[in-house]
C-alpha cells in the first residue's frame, strides 16, 4: 500500500534498533520540545536549556556516535535519525545536539589526550556540561585560515589566549569551549573551561533565525591555560574541518526533519482548508506543490541514508558530505517556503511551525559552510581547479 508519509518505503532500510531509537527521540521531542518551542522562539530564549541537555544526555543523543567515556556508540544512521527527529521539532535544539556531540565532544574524542577525554567526555555525554566550538571570528567566517585569535606560550609553558570568536552556538551556557587559535606552530585547538579569568561569552540577541538556540560571542582576554590544555593530536585546519564534516553529516539528516514537518503540516492543511467550495488539496496547483515537496523530501532522506551507510562503512568522503549538505538544506528551505504558501496567511503565524522552520534554515544554510562554499568544494572535486581564491 502507498504510504504518503513514506512513499519510497525507506523505512524498510531500517533495523528494529534504528526504529526504536528514532521512536524514543521522536517521543521525547513531542513531549519536551513541541509544546513549548513556539514560545521559546518568540521569546528568543530556552528557559530550561540545562534540563533539556541532561534529558538529551539520558537519551544517549549527545556524542551519540562516539564510543567509550559514557557515549552511546550508535551507528551513523542512528545518529542521523536522531538529528532528523530533533530537527523536526526545531533546528535550534538540533544545533545544541550537533555542537555538543559532533563539534565539542568529537574534537576531544578524536584529538584530545586520554586525560582530557576522561575529564570532559562523561559529563558532556550526560548533558551535565555543555560544550561550544569557537572557530568563526568577526572578520573570518568562510576563510578561517585567516583567524586572528592567538595563543602564545608563556615562559612557564602556559598558554595565553587572546581574541574574539563570533556566532558561537551554546557559548553563554557552555562549561567548556573548544577554541581554535593561531600559534607559532600553526592552528591549534584548546580546551577552555569557561570559568577561566578573561573568558566571557556575551549572548548575541536580535536574531531572526534559530531563536530557540543560544548564540554568543566568545571574548578571550589573556586567558591563561595550562600547557596540557591544547588538543595534542592535531595541528592545522584539518582539526576543525574534520569536526565540521562530522557535524555537517548530522545536518544532512536534520534538515530533512524540518522539511518533513513543513510537508506534513502543508498536507494536513491542504486537506482541511476549503476555498471555492472544496479543499485546496483538490487544486492542481496545490497538488503540484505537494508532489514536488514529497519528491525532494524523500530523495533527501534517501541521500542521508546513503551517506550514513557510507559513514558506517568508513567510506564517507568530505566532498560527499558537502554534496549532502548542499542539496538537503537547499531543498529543505524550499520545501518550508512552499509549505508557507500553502498555508496562506496562517503560514506566517507561529501557531504553525512552517515559518519558524523556514527562518531557522536560513542559519543552517549559512553555518557549517555556506551553500557557496559547498558548491566550491564540489566544483573543485569535479574540475580539479580550486576556485576559492
Ligand atoms: C546561528 C548561527 C550559529 C553558528 N554557530 C557557530 C558555532 O557554533 N561555531 C562557529 O565557529 N561558527 C558558528 N557560526 C558561524 C558560521 O559558521 C559562519 O557564519 C559561516 O561559516 C559563514 O561565515 P560568515 O558569516 O563570516 O560569512 P562570510 O564568510 O563573510 O560569507 C559571506 C558570503 O560570501 C560568500 N563567500 C565567501 N567567500 C567566498 C568565495 N571564496 N567564493 C564565493 N563566495 C564566497 C559566502 O558564501 C556568503 O554567501 C554560526 C552561524 C550562525 C548564523
Q: Are residues 224 and 260 in the same domain?
A: no
Residues 70-77, mean pLDDT to the nearest whole number = 98
With CA atoms as reference, report the closest residue to 62 among 31, 11, 97: 97
Whose grid coordinates read 514529497?
A: 294
Say which CATH number the domain at 206 has.
2.40.110.10
Which atom, in ligand 1's list, is nearest to the CA of 135?
Answer: 11
Which atom, in ligand 1's list, is nearest to the CA of 143?
Answer: 29
Out of 107, 125, 143, pick the residue that ends a domain.
125
Residue 105 is assigned to a structural domain of this protein: yes
Q: Tens digit of pLDDT for each residue in 103-160?
A: 999 999 999 999 999 999 999 999 999 999 999 999 999 999 999 999 999 989 999 9
Residues 259, 8: Cα–Cα separation, whole Å: 16
**Helix or strand (DSSP H, E) at 5:** none
Please give the pLDDT value at position 46.
96
When divided into structural domains, the chain yields a total of 3
Residue 46 is assigned to a structural domain of this protein: yes
Residue 350 is assigned to a structural domain of this protein: yes
Which atom, in ligand 1's list, is nearest to the CA of 369?
Answer: 21
Q: Are residues 73 and 156 in the same domain?
A: no
Q: Whose CA is nearest to atom 43 of ligand 1?
A: 372
Whose grid coordinates read 483538490?
A: 282
Q: Tens digit of pLDDT for each residue in 308-351?
A: 999 999 999 999 999 999 999 999 999 999 999 999 999 999 99
Residues 313, 375: Cα–Cα separation, whole Å: 25
Residues 6 or more apart in contact with residue 58 via CB below 8 angstroms:
126, 127
Q: Whose CA is nearest to atom 14 of ligand 1?
A: 167
Residue 351 is assigned to a structural domain of this protein: yes
**How far apart are the CA of 308 and the centre of ligand 1, in A?**
25
pLDDT at 1 over 90: no
Residue count of the chain, please give it. 389
Which atom, in ligand 1's list, is nearest to the CA of 171?
Answer: 8
Residue pair 92/212 in contact by the 8 Å Cβ criterion: yes
**How far apart are the CA of 196 and the centre of ligand 1, in A?**
28
Out of 229, 256, 284, pick the residue that ends a domain.
229
Using a 6 Å CB cutoff, which residues line ligand 1?
99, 133-136, 141-142, 167-169, 210, 215, 363, 366-367, 370, 372-373, 376, 388
Residue 375 is assigned to a structural domain of this protein: yes
CA gyration radius for the chain?
A: 21
Say which CATH number the domain at 250 has.
1.20.140.10
Q: Are residues 17 and 55 in the same domain?
A: yes
Residue 66 is assigned to a structural domain of this protein: yes
Q: Are residues 115 and 144 in the same domain?
A: no
Q: Are residues 204 and 300 in the same domain?
A: no
Out of 106, 125, 144, pick the residue that ends a domain.
125
Whose grid coordinates read 574540475?
A: 383
pLDDT at 45 over 90: yes
Give me the domain span that covers residue 50: 10-125
Q: Tens digit of pLDDT for each residue in 242-299?
A: 999 999 999 999 999 999 999 999 999 999 999 999 999 999 999 999 999 999 999 9
Residues 6 or more apart in contact with residue 346 via CB below 8 angstroms:
269, 352
Please give the pLDDT value at position 309.
98
**How far apart are the CA of 199 and the centre of ligand 1, in A?**
23
Q: Are residues 28 and 81 in the same domain?
A: yes
Q: How many C-beta atoms surround the C-beta of residue 372 within 10 A? A: 13
**How far apart are the CA of 365 and the centre of ligand 1, in A?**
9
% pLDDT > 70, the chain: 100
Q: Are residues 108 and 144 in the same domain?
A: no
Residues 6 or more apart in contact with residue 308 via CB below 8 angstroms:
75, 76, 77, 79, 80, 249, 253
User: What confidence category does residue 369 fall into, taking pLDDT thresholds of 50, 70 and 90?
Assistant: very high
Q: Are residues 39 and 110 in the same domain?
A: yes
Whether 368 is catalytic is yes
Mean pLDDT of the chain: 97
Residue 2 is assigned to a structural domain of this protein: no
Could you say which of 85, 217, 296, 368 is catalytic? Answer: 368
Q: With H, G, I as helix, E, B as strand and everything else as coil, classify residue 210.
A: coil
**How far apart are the CA of 13 and the centre of ligand 1, in A?**
35
Q: Are residues 375 and 264 in the same domain?
A: yes
Residue 75 is assigned to a structural domain of this protein: yes
With CA atoms as reference, report the closest residue to 108 among 242, 218, 227: 242
Q: Are residues 251 and 354 in the same domain?
A: yes
Mutate to test the pocket of ligand 1, among 104, 237, 366 (most ligand atoms within 8 A of CB): 366
Q: Tens digit of pLDDT for each residue in 178-225?
A: 999 999 999 999 999 999 999 999 999 999 999 999 999 999 999 999
Q: Are residues 306 and 375 in the same domain?
A: yes
Amino acid at each position: 500500500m502507498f504510504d504518503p508519509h513514506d512513499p519510497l518505503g525507506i523505512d524498510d532500510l531500517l533495523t528494529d534498533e534504528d526504529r526504536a531509537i528514532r521512536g524514543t527521540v521522536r517521543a521525547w521531542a513531542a513531549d519536551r520540545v513541541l509544546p513549548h518551542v513556539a514560545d521559546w522562539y518568540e521569546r528568543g530564549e530556552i528557559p530550561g536549556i540545562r534540563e533539556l541537555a541532561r534529558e538529551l544526555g539520558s537519551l544517549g543523543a549527545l556524542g551519540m556516535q562516539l564510543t567509550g567515556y559514557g557515549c552511546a556508540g550508535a551507528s551513523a544512521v542512528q545518529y542521523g535519525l536522531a538529528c532528523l527527529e530533533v530537527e523536526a521539532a526545531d533546528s535550534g535544539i538540533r544545533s545544541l545536539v550537533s555542537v555538543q556531540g559532533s563539534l565539542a565532544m568529537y574534537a576531544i574524542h578524536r584529538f584530545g589526550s586520554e586525560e582530557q577525554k576522561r575529564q570532559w567526555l562523561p559529563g558532556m555525554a550526560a548533558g551535565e556540561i555543555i560544550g561550544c566550538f569557537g572557530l568563526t571570528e568577526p572578520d573570518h567566517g568562510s576563510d578561517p585560515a585567516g583567524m586572528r585569535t592567538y595563543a602564545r606560550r608563556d615562559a612557564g609553558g602556559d598558554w595565553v589566549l587572546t581574541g574574539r570568536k563570533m556566532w558561537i552556538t551554546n557559548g553563554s551556557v557552555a562549561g567548556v569551549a573548544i577554541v581554535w587559535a593561531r600559534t607559532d606552530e600553526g592552528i591549534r585547538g584548546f580546551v577552555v573551561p569557561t570559568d577561566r579569568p578573561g573568558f566571557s561569552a556575551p549572548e548575541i540577541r536580535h536574531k531572526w533565525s534559530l531563536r530557540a538556540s543560544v548564540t554568543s560571542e566568545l571574548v578571550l582576554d589573556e586567558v591563561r591555560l595550562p600547557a596540557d590544555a591544547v588538543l595534542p593530536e592535531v595541528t592545522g585546519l584539518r582539526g576543525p574541518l574534520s569536526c565540521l564534516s562530522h557535524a555537517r553529516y548530522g545536518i544532512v539528516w536534520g534538515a530533512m526533519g524540518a522539511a518533513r514537518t513543513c510537508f506534513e503540516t502543508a498536507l494536513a492543511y491542504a486537506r482541511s482548508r476549503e476555498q471555492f467550495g472544496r479543499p485546496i488539496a483538490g487544486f492542481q496547483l496545490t497538488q503540484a506543490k505537494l508532489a514536488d515537496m514529497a519528491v525532494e523530501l524523500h530523495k533527501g532522506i534517501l541521500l542521508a541514508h546513503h551517506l550514513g551507510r557510507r559513514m558506517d562503512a568508513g567510506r564517507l568522503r568530505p566532498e560527499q558530505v558537502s554534496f549532502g549538505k548542499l542539496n538537503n538544506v537547499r531543498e529543505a528551505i524550499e520545501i518550508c517556503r512552499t509549505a508557507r504558501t500553502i498555508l496562506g496567511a496562517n503560514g506566517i503565524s507561529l501557531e504553525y511551525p512552517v515559518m519558524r522552520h523556514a527562518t531557522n534554515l536560513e542559519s543552517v544554510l549559512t553555518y557549517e559552510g555556506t551553500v557557496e562554499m559547498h558548491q566550491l568544494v564540489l566544483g573543485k572535486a569535479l574540475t580539479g581547479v580550486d576556485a576559492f581564491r
